[in-house]
């Protein structure tokens, strides 16, 4: 830490301690951001385990944008009215915080990383005990990598009894641990066993859903299922993240660690991004495998683009997102037709969405209106959710739900938490889903879910 930054931090610590005393020992939030030399985000994440644990990881891999958090400065939790309660807590935190950030780049300063549940009925089983309801965390230490620029943020809760010098010494000591150069040991998880939820019963559920659709009770119902894998030893989360960021190069890679559990994944589906009031979203629906050669790959992609079932499914998502955005945005730009979006293991139909967020609206408004899109719940929304709640045996928890980050400048980004898993010690539970429409064939939908297990299963050493 250079001398001028030390002096600035000293002044801020003094101010925060004084403010805590004035407010009768109320804890005072302080956030301090500086620019630093390059640091490997994966190494930072690994080094964070030597501090107080509870790590965070977010990467928009194609944008070369990373957020890595260590420790917990503040956490925000809501058991109901998730979006409004979280927004209220976030606003209150920012109103009372002392923030020093001369850069004000998206993703710097105090940020919160977390997720909302898929549904009000989610997060009820022991699998989700550490991830129940909506949960967001402001990390004590944050690394932000935006292409070639690196930032380090310290977020502290200051008490009137705190001592300036002691705090500064602790910050410097822990910063040295986090940003010290190091080599990662790539440890491929050793998978002992894997088992999937009853395929026969799940295919019967697909048939039941098509019957409901053909009776006119819904247009589309998204069904999900799980797979469980056991390891010889608890897998190293950093190795999973390294595998995902290396191979899922068009995805958002995430990890939220809480105690001994970690929710981790690599999703290709952005729900919404807000950057200086500019809104970005995406329609992603319709799936096919990759080919073994360039010619086969192009042939499969063209067949996907021409397939009426997949195009209809994709158009439902486009129509819904356009309709939702019209109430709180303007200058909406959505192409007339999708393109084929190739990932490492799969390819999808994809339509980008760009708009301008109207004054007075926030990312919370967008999230509460968009989720779940027809790609994750179905259409109409309430009819499909009613079927899922009544007949799907899976507790989705955070699977398929909004996951992402918020900063102090009304910026943020949320993706849909598909291609994901909950890792609990020596066991992981993976999730996959597909959209059922009137012409769906149970065996084909089952095979589609098997394809969608592939990215996480590969990262976990199962393929």
- Which residues belong to the active site? 220, 269
Peptide bond before residue 13 is cis, with ω within 30 degrees of 0:
no
Three-state secondary structure string covering the chain: CCHHHHHHHHHHHHHHHHHHHHCCCCCEEEEEEEEECCCCHHHHHHHHHHCCCCCEEEEEHHHCEEEEEECCCEEEEECCCHHHHHHHHHHHHHHHCEEECCCCCCCCCCEEEEECCCCCCCCCCHHHHHHCCEEEEECCEEEEEECCEEEEEEEEEECCCCCHHHHHHHHHHHHHHHHCCCCCCCCCCCEEEEEECCHHHHHHHHHHHHHHHHCCCCCEEEEEEEEEEEECCCCCHHHHHHHHHHHCCCCEEEEEEECCEEEEEEECCEEEEEECCEEEEEEEEEEEECCCCHHHHHHHHHHHHHCHHHHHHHHHHHHHHHHHHCCCEEEEECCCCCEEEECCCEEEEEEEEEEEECCCCCHHHHHHHHCCCCCCCEECHHHHHHHHHHHCCCCCCCCCCEEEEEECCCCEEEEECCCEEEEECCEEEEEEEEEECCCCCHHHHHHHHHHHHHHHHHHCCCC
Half-sphere exposure of 282 (CA within 13 A, CB side): 20
Considering only CA atoms, which of 292, 191, 193 is closest in space to residue 240? 191
Please, which residues have CB within 8 angstroms of residue 69's CB and are 6 or more apart in sequence? 48, 55, 56, 57, 113, 137, 139, 140, 141, 142, 143
Task: Write the CA distances from 75 to 45, 109, 114, 300, integer angstroms.
Answer: 19, 16, 9, 45
In this structure, are residues 288 and 346 in contact, taking their beta carbons and an 8 Å threshold? yes
Point out which residues pair with 38 in neighbouring strands: none
CB atoms within 10 A of CB 274: 22
Q: Which residue has the tokens 């068009």?
A: 250
């Amino acid at each position: 830490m250079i001398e001028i930054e030390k002096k600035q931090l000293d002044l801020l610590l003094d101010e925060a301690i004084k403010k805590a005393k004035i407010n009768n020992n109320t804890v005072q939030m302080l956030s301090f951001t500086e620019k630093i030399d390059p640091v490997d985000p994966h190494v930072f994440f690994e080094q964070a385990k030597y501090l107080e644990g509870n790590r965070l990881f977010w990467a928009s891999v194609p944008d070369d944008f990373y957020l890595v958090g260590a420790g917990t400065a503040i956490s925000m939790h809501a058991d109901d009215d998730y979006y409004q309660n979280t927004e209220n807590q976030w606003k209150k935190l920012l109103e009372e915080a002392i923030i020093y950030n001369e850069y004000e780049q998206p993703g710097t300063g105090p940020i919160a990383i977390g997720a909302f549940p898929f549904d009000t009925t989610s997060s009820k089983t022991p699998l989700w005990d550490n991830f129940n309801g909506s949960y967001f965390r402001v990390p004590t230490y944050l690394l932000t990598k935006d292409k070639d620029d690196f930032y380090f943020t310290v977020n502290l809760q200051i008490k009137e009894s705190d001592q300036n010098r002691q705090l500064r010494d602790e910050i410097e000591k822990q910063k040295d641990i986090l940003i010290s150069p190091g080599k990662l040991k790539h440890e491929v998880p050793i998978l002992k066993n894997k088992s999937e939820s009853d395929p026969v019963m799940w295919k019967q559920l697909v048939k039941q859903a098509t019957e409901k659709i053909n009776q006119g009770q819904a247009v589309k119902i998204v069904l999900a299922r799980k797979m469980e894998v056991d390891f010889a030893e608890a897998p190293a989360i950093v190795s999973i993240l390294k595998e995902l960021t290396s191979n899922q190069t068009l995805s958002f890679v995430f990890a939220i660690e809480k105690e001994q559990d970690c929710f981790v994944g690599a999703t290709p589906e952005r729900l919404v991004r807000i950057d200086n009031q500019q809104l970005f979203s995406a329609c992603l629906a319709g799936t096919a495998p990759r080919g073994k050669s360039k010619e086969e790959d192009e042939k499969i992609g063209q067949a996907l683009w021409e397939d009426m079932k997949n195009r209809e499914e994709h158009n439902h998502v486009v129509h819904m997102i356009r309709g939702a955005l019209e109430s709180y945005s303007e200058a909406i730009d959505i192409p007339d037709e999708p393109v084929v979006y190739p990932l490492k293991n799969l390819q999808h139909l994809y339509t980008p969405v760009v708009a301008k967020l109207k004054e007075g609206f926030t990312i919370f408004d967008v999230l509460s209106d968009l989720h779940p899109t027809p790609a994750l719940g179905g259409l109409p929304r309430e009819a499909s959710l009613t079927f899922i709640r009544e007949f799907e045996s899976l507790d989705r928890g955070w699977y398929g739900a909004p996951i992402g980050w918020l900063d102090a400048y009304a910026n943020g980004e949320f993706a849909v938490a598909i291609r994901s898993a909950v890792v609990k010690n020596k066991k992981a539970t993976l999730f996959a889903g597909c959209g059922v429409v009137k012409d769906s064939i149970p065996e084909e939908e089952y095979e589609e879910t098997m394809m969608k297990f592939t990215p996480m299963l590969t990262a976990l050493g199962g393929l």
